[in-house]
Amino acid sequence: MKEKKAVITIALIVINIAVFAVETIAGGSENTQVALKFGVAYAPLVFSGEYYRLFTAMFLHFGAFHLLANMVSLGVLGPAVEKLFGKIRFLIIYLIGGIAGNVLSMYMDVWLDRNALSAGASGAIFALFGAYLVMALSKKFSGLSVPRVLIAIVISLVPGFEMQSINMTAHLGGLIGGFIVSLILLPTVVKPRRWK
């Protein structure tokens, strides 16, 4: 039997690349005005009622390297979570985890009195790490070890401690959000599955 393609993962990658192309045409993905126009997360605007930015920011990136790093990570992590949880559950984990990352990031910005522009898919991608952790802890999935998942998470978090431009709060918020959502959705995954 032919294995199904990870269509949601592929669609998300295509959407991110398409949005980046439009940003570039509109004046550049690293242009502040373009970023604000397209819906980057910015605490003063979010808390003034522009809550949609918590969603749109997930599809915006600052520069080609930012986009490339996130899309490679999504391409590596996405297919397995999509296969094991199913397409709809995968999308729920991805989107809610990404929003959770942006929410935590905005509250941290207010608490620290720093109003930085925030964008990128990394909060949603860290939500997939949260899903991997749930999968590793669950008896419904076999062949995925908790220590390996934790090591992968720590390695992925390390650059955030070295580079101030990386939004560690969004990463942690996405990780926590993805873990909680995956835990809630886990009972709906009825068939035991094997990690390959």
- Domains within the chain, CATH numbers bracketed: 7-187 (1.20.1540.10)
Residue 18's identity, in one-letter code, is A
138 a catalytic residue: no
Catalytic status, residue 122 = yes
For 153, counting Cβ atoms within 10 Å of its Cβ (0-12 exposed, 13-18 middle, 19+ buried), the class is middle
Predicted local distance difference test score (pLDDT) of residue 150 = 73
Q: What is the pLDDT of residues 19-66, one digit of tens each?
A: 999 999 999 999 999 999 999 999 999 999 999 999 999 999 999 999
Indicate the pTM of the whole model: 0.88
Q: Write down the pLDDT at residue 79.
A: 93
Q: How far is CA 83 from CA 6, 16, 131, 167, 195, in A?
A: 7, 21, 12, 28, 10
What's residue 143's pLDDT? 66
**Contact in structure between 48 and 106 (CB atoms under 8 Å):** no
122, 12 contact by CB (below 8 A):
no
Catalytic residue among 29, 61, 138, 171: 171
Annotated catalytic residue within 29, 105, 118, 122 = 122
Token pair, residue 118, equals 């925030």
From the first residue on, what is the mean pLDDT of each consecutive set of 10 residues in the chain (196 residues)? 78 97 95 95 94 96 92 92 93 97 90 87 94 84 70 70 68 94 87 53
Residues in the chain: 196
DSSP-derived letter for residue 142 is: E
Residue 58 CA to chain centroid, in angstroms? 7
Within 86-121, where are the H helices?
87-111
